[in-house]
Amino acid sequence: MKRISFAGIPGTLLFLLTLARAAIAAQEKPVVSGKDMTETVKITLTGEVDLDYVWRRNEITAFTGGVGANVPGDSSSENTFEGFVAMRLNVDLSDKVSALLEFGTKRADAGKLAVFAAPSGTGSTALSLQLREANISVAEMFMPELRMQIGISTWNFDLRGKGQSMAFDPRHSQRFDRNVNPGPDSGVTLNARAGDYQELEPVGVWLRYGREKLVLDLIVLPAVIEGGSPHGDEAFYALDLLYKIDDKESRFGFIASVTTDPGGSSVIFTYGGGADWRGTANLDVYGEVYFQNGRNNDGITPTVDIGAFAYQVGAEYRIPGDAMGWVGVNLTYFSGDSQANGKSSSFTAYENIHDLLILEDMYLGFDWDTNYRAIKIAGGLSANVGGKANLRLSAMIGLCQTARNVQFAALPVPESTRKLGNEVDVKAEWDLTKQLTLNAGIGFLFGSEVLENSMGGKGAPDASQQALLFTLGTDLRF
Q: Is 308 exposed, middle or buried (0-12, 13-18, 19+ CB in 10 A)?
A: buried
Residue 65 confidence (pLDDT): 63
**Beta strand segments in 34-156, E:** 42-56, 78-92, 97-104, 108-109, 112-113, 115-119, 130-138, 146-152
> Phi and psi at residue 181, in whole multiples of 5°?
-150, 120
Report strand pairing: 283-296 vs 325-334.
unpaired
Query: Which tens digit of pLDDT belongs to each residue from 23-40?
Result: 444 444 455 666 666 666
Which segment, 19-28, 295-304, 460-469, is predicted with the most confidence on average? 460-469
Q: How far apart are CA 271 and CA 309, in angstroms?
A: 10
Residue 127 confidence (pLDDT): 57
Residues in the chain: 478
Query: Which tens digit of pLDDT belongs to each residue from 60-82?
Result: 888 776 544 444 445 578 888 88
Query: Which tens digit of pLDDT belongs to each residue from 404-426?
Result: 988 888 788 888 899 999 999 99
At residue 248, does pLDDT exceed 50?
yes
More confident position, 297 or 133: 133
Contacts for 177 with CB less than 8 Å, ≥ 6 apart? 234, 259, 266, 268, 296, 348
Q: How far apart are CA 462 and CA 451, in angstroms?
A: 11
Residue 116 confidence (pLDDT): 73
Cβ atoms 10, 117 nearer than 8 A: no
Residue 72 confidence (pLDDT): 44
> Mind listing the domains of the chain with CATH numbers?
1-126 (no CATH), 140-477 (2.40.160.100)
Residue 239 confidence (pLDDT): 98
| Amino acid, single-letter form, for residue 462 | D
* CA distances from residue 240 to 207, 256, 258, 342 in whole angstroms, order as listed: 11, 6, 12, 32
Q: What is the largest CA-CA distance in the chain?
A: 76
Residue 323 confidence (pLDDT): 63
Residue 66 confidence (pLDDT): 52
pLDDT averaged over the chain?
83
For every residue of 394-405, DSSP letters joined together read: EEEEEEEE-SSP
Which segment, 19-23, 189-193, 259-263, 391-395, is predicted with the most confidence on average? 391-395
Cβ atoms 407, 186 nearer than 8 A: yes
| Amino acid, single-letter form, for residue 334 | F
- Give the CA radius of gyration of the chain: 23
Pick from 325, 346, 161: which is nearest to 244 by CA? 161
Q: How far apart are CA 84 and CA 68, in angstroms?
A: 19
Residue 7 confidence (pLDDT): 44
> Residue range 467-478: average pLDDT?
94
If phi > 0 it is left, if psi is from -120 to 50 it is alpha, else beta; for residue 356 that is beta
Query: Which tens digit of pLDDT belongs to each residue from 204-241?
Result: 999 999 998 999 999 999 988 755 444 567 899 999 99
% pLDDT > 70, the chain: 82
> Residue range 111-135: average pLDDT?
71
> Residue range 127-143: average pLDDT?
87
Which of helix, strand or coil describes residue 9? Answer: helix
Half-sphere exposure of 52 (CA within 13 A, CB side): 21
Pick from 263, 266, 200: which is nearest to 227 by CA? 200
6 confidence band (pLDDT: 50, 70, 90): very low
Residue 119 confidence (pLDDT): 60
